Amino acid sequence: MTEKTFQSPKKRGQIAVFLSGRGSNFLAIHDAVIRGDINADISLVFSNRKEAPGLLHAKKRRLKTLYLNPKEFKSKEDYDEEICKQLKKRDIDLICLAGYMKILTPGFCNEFENRIINIHPALLPSFPGLHVQKKAIDWGVRYSGATVHFVTASVDMGPIILQAVVPVLQDDTEESLSNRILKQEHKIYPESVKLYFEGKLLIKGRKVFILP
């Protein structure tokens, strides 16, 4: 069987950032856009939480924001369909999940195949899911880190774009390890988005090749 391939587009892109909280990864991506490192604009910052600090940062930076209340929709599918409509209106090329704490429906993932990426605070496929910095400490691993990956319907298991490794120290707390990992997140997430719009990400099956 031949493997499915996809090459990211070389173009000036339109990004939508999805977030539910603090938004430091969103800010790192936006800073890189402002510096001219990423060939794209952030056309929308979306949240499922009205009071998400990241959404307030986006408003202060005069970016378009959208909040949809999940409780106003009959099902997760209806919710994601509405988001999908909103994204299509704005011709979004790439969705960056930046601490978006809702699982996207398979229908949504398929609709935006190869056009959703996520940052995860562990070295996938180890420690998928939530509270993964604590899980890494409790397991006793010597190294953890961050992973940027394409999003598929199989949660946290899509093709890996970049990873960064950090040591786990014997006296680490969840907070100290999270901070060490976050510093790396702020490097590899903007770098991944940059590579995406340089047309340098080639997905073959479940592997991502970075083109020269």
User: What is the 3-class SS of 25-62, one letter each residue?
Assistant: HHHHHHHHHHHCCCCEEEEEEEECCCCCHHHHHHHHCC
Instruction: State which of residues 16, 182, 201, 208 lies at the interface with ligand GAR (CB under 6 A).
Output: 182
Closest CB 121 distance from ligand GAR, rounded Å: 4
- Strand ranges for the chain from DSSP E: 5-7, 13-19, 40-47, 65-67, 94-97, 116-120, 143-150, 160-167, 201-204, 207-210
Residue 131 annotated among the catalytic residues of the structure: no
Alpha-carbon gap, residue 111 to 90, rounded angstroms: 15
C-alpha neighbours within 13 Å on the C-beta side of residue 64? 11
CB of 11 to ligand GAR, least distance (A): 26
Count of residues in contact with ligand GAR, rule CB under 6 A: 14
Tell me how far CA of residue 23 lies from CA of 6, 13, 201, in angstroms.
29, 21, 25
119 scored as a contact of ligand GAR (CB under 6 A): yes
Q: Does 164 bind ligand GAR (CB under 6 A)?
A: no
196 SS3 class: helix
Measured from the CB atom, the residue of 88 and 183 that comes closer to ligand GAR is: 183
| The only residue of 13, 16, 23, 188 in contact with ligand GAR, by rule CB under 6 A | 23
Near ligand GAR in 63-102, by CB under 6 A: 98-99
Nearer Cβ to ligand GAR, position 24 or 114? 24
Among the listed ranges 43-51, 63-71, 115-123, 201-209, the one in contact with ligand GAR (CB under 6 A) is: 115-123
Closer to ligand GAR at the Cβ: 8 or 25? 25
According to the binding rule CB under 6 A, does residue 192 interact with ligand GAR? no
For ligand GAR, which residue of 13, 16, 18, 21 counts as binding (CB under 6 A)? 21
Q: From CA 118, how far away is CA 17, in angstroms rounded?
A: 10
Q: How far is the CB of 25 from ligand GAR (least distance, A)?
A: 3
Cα separation, 88 vs 91, whole angstroms: 5
Question: Which residues are marked as active site?
Answer: 120
- Contacting positions for ligand GAR (CB under 6 A): 19, 21-25, 54, 98-99, 119-121, 182, 185
